[in-house]
Structure 1
């Protein structure tokens, strides 16, 4: 029995991909049968040159516009895209972005969350994206790989998402992190797509870009660990809600907390301020940095 359990643990350890991989790791694993590399970019960027064996997706395949706000597409639509990419529960997925703008980077982290939300847990982010790959002198190619579609059935993880009602019911009961720049959080600077300035009552400010260097590589994880534990007093065993303007910025805070640092109960408020701040009946605060206290 002990031998069996030890072997099982080894197989699980070998199966689980780290949430952040670098270019060296990826170069060594291209060609692995269970690996799916996915570029998140425009079609033009992908066809002009991508990492060997990389498939392509765009953020529009994952999100739907409701007018004033945007959210994840239906489970059926997401399942169709996951299957098209040949992904199933046993697949190791590496996402990377062609980072021409910060938003390009955040589209990839949103898909990281979207895959988790639909039951795909073996997902990694390429540190520094396509630019890091090019900087290393690694080759790009234009050949589009042929892969077989999967038959994966999505398994929704409801604990990974929050809607407006859930957020409102938990104000003052759970810590919340606003991933927007501090001037947006404070309501000093307006957001064109949001009618009201400020932040959700009780939320703390942590702009997503605090976690990355100028080249979009992740800052030292030990420093981030200390920051959230000592600075924000977040408990890895307790729930935290993350939000932003419209779902993209906060997805990187989700990636850092849930993926890299191992926080077990991170909920993403997908519609975020584009929903909350365009209503008149939702509690908001301006001009004040808040700290969560139970």
Structure 2
């Protein structure tokens, strides 16, 4: 028995040593990575940095080895317009082609880099980062992270930037899209009393004080709960602490349960941010995104609006 225990311990130690030496991608990546982490891992073989800023911004300077794939609305490699709806997921063939052209494989560790909007401008660029991340998860890429504080923080810290465009070796990406991440209008209708519906838009929009041009009806989807996306970031564009994000989520959703969570916004940008934080950062199960969002819902359905009287 003593010999068996000794042998078992030896095998466990040998496996740990082998893993530490090989440094395989199976260790994954945290969903939000710091500038310090990225600086230390720039030369990592399986790391792919995707800069989603405009081509002009990228040309003026970018993080070494970063590949530029701008996210623009209505059309870009990340989003398309389908049935007159903005920011829909791209067709599978086009999406897989973009992923392959970036040299991304299923084993890659992908870090999304965006710019940070200066207050009081809306944090749309930060939401674009989560939208890009969502699109990669949808395409079957599991190890995707966002650079906390974006390109702005990297530059503010005096870290290395370059104008050199990296040479990328394209690959044939043959993944499988995860349709379970998305829900349709009809699915939302059937789930109004069963699922937790999260409205990720600004509070003024949720309450009907403000009407957005692409969703010309005041208010929100029936039974939806307000969890404004801009609240998840600090003024410098970094994410609020995990404890704070947990408190925000628990205050609206409650603790982890068996109920499905459906997130929507105006067209699918802000919704991707809470999808990312709830599902990838905080570990909530069954978090899905309504891609058509308020833009589609208001075409065929009514919204509800809360009012107060003295």
Task: Output the TM-score relative to the length of structure 2.
Answer: 0.86
Aligned to 1:72: 89
- Please report the RMSD computed on the Cα atoms of aligned residues, expressed in angstroms: 2.2
* Distance across 2 between alignment mates of 1:151 and 1:137: 36
- Runs of 5+ in structure 2 lacking a partner? 1-7
Aligned to 2:5: none
Aligned length: 287
* Distance across 1 between alignment mates of 2:12 and 2:69: 40
Aligned to 2:58: 46
Residue 288 to residue 18, structure 1, CA distance change in 2 (3 Å)? farther
Residue 232 to residue 104, structure 1, CA distance change in 2 (3 Å)? same
Larger radius of gyration: 2
SS in 2 for 1:156: coil
- Runs of 5+ in structure 1 lacking a partner? 290-294
- The answer to whether structure 1 residue 63 and structure 2 residue 79 are counterparts is yes
Equivalent residue in structure 1 for 2:105, among 85, 88, 91: 88
Displacement of 1:154 after TM fit? 2.5
Aligned to 1:163: 184
Q: Which moved more, 1:8-17 or 1:58-67?
A: 8-17
Residue 161 to residue 134, structure 1, CA distance change in 2 (3 Å)? same
Deviations 1:97-127 (A, max 9, x none): 0224522221111010011111101001000
Residue 79 to residue 4, structure 1, CA distance change in 2 (3 Å)? farther
* Distance across 2 between alignment mates of 1:222 and 1:12: 30
Residue 57 to residue 201, structure 1, CA distance change in 2 (3 Å)? same
* Distance across 2 between alignment mates of 1:54 and 1:185: 37
Aligned to 1:133: 154
Deviations 1:208-249 (A, max 9, x none): 111110111011101221332354214265420001000011
Deviations 1:234-276 (A, max 9, x none): 4265420001000011111111111211122210111111111
Equivalent residue in structure 2 for 1:31, among 43, 52, 61: 43
Contact 2:25/2:108 (CA < 8 Å) preserved in 1?
Answer: no
Deviations 1:46-82 (A, max 9, x none): 0110000000112211111232433111111110110
Contact 1:171/1:202 (CA < 8 Å) preserved in 2?
Answer: yes
Aligned to 1:97: 114
Residue 79 to residue 14, structure 1, CA distance change in 2 (3 Å)? closer
